[in-house]
Amino acid sequence: MRKPVLEFQDVSFSYGGKKPILDHLNVTVYEREFVTIIGASGSGKSTLFRLITGLETEEHGRIRINSEQPKNRHGRTGYMPQQDLLMPWRTVLENAAVPLELAGVSKKESSIRILPLLNEFGLNGAEHKYPSELSGGMKQRVSFLRSILTGSNILLLDEPFSALDAITRLSMQEWLLDQWEKREKSILFITHDVNEALFLSDRIFVFQDTPVRTLQEVVVPLGRPRSLRDLNDPAVMELKDKLIDQLRGGVKRL
């Protein structure tokens, strides 16, 4: 039986008591699952992440992380934003060490933990470089390493590859799948790219109406391991067309 790691139970939320964004929403994400969220801009995707990380507080219902309902959700999940948010005055090693510093780990111990991971993250030899010296893909690898080092089994990735060129983006998608399978994390991923969602995910949640009362759940008809060529499968191509039509409809409604 699959173990739930993230649960929204009858959760409602609005900004400042105005029109609700979420209305008695129920969502479950399971261990070692890759779930992608798609939907029109302004439909509530980032609000969901803000609630999970504790930046916002639900008005009704419960949010459970690893079967617990913590009073403070800060630091309970790893978070990788759209922009890498690397500190320009810090080196790769120093940027990656931020979550360890916040946890009270010494600088020496942080280096011992991080240095062996750099080769695996395509950053070997770059530990003393600054963000201005890195490519876009390398910056995102540092950002992902930082989210891994939180130690959480739940990672929230908010359009992390949207600023990358097309070739780098495809390479990072393949690299991310390798890391996810190796580290056995649960990933919740936001994107506007339907191809990206289909390639990466076990399930896709579609944000449609606002307020969000239910999320349409789509099971991706692909096994693992998978390659980008698998997106040419007729069933996947048909599903892609349906999802794009739904997203277009959502934009019109908004």
Residues 121, 180, single domain; the answer is no
- Per the structure, how many domains does the chain have? 2
- In which domain, by residue range, is 187 found? 1-15+31-77+154-254
Residues 178, 57, single domain; the answer is yes
Q: Is residue 9 part of a domain?
A: yes
Residues 114, 44, single domain; the answer is no
Residues 172, 130, single domain; the answer is no
Residues 112-161: tens digit of each pLDDT: 999 999 988 999 999 999 999 999 999 999 999 999 999 999 999 999 99
- Output the pLDDT for position 199: 97
Residues 91, 175, single domain; the answer is no
Helix (H, G, I), strand (E, B) or coil at 211: coil
Question: Worst-scoring range by mean pLDDT, 144-148, 208-212, 247-251?
Answer: 247-251
List for the chain the helix, strand, coil content (%; round to 5).
40, 25, 40
* Whether this model's pTM surpasses 0.75: yes
Residues 93, 47, single domain; the answer is no
Last residue of a domain, one of 133, 151, 169: 151
Concatenated DSSP letters for 5-64?
Answer: EEEEEEEEEESTTSSEEEEEEEEEEETT-EEEEEE-TTSSHHHHHHHHHTSS--SEEEEE
d(CA 100, CA 185): 18
Residues 249, 212, single domain; the answer is yes
Q: What is the CATH number of the domain that holds 194?
A: 3.40.50.300
Q: Is residue 217 part of a domain?
A: yes
Q: Is residue 92 part of a domain?
A: yes
Residues 76-90: tens digit of each pLDDT: 999 998 888 899 999
Residues 131, 211, single domain; the answer is no
Q: Is residue 20 part of a domain?
A: no
Residues 158, 143, single domain; the answer is no
Residues 251, 159, single domain; the answer is yes
Closest CA to 147 of 109, 189, 116: 189
Q: Is residue 126 part of a domain?
A: yes
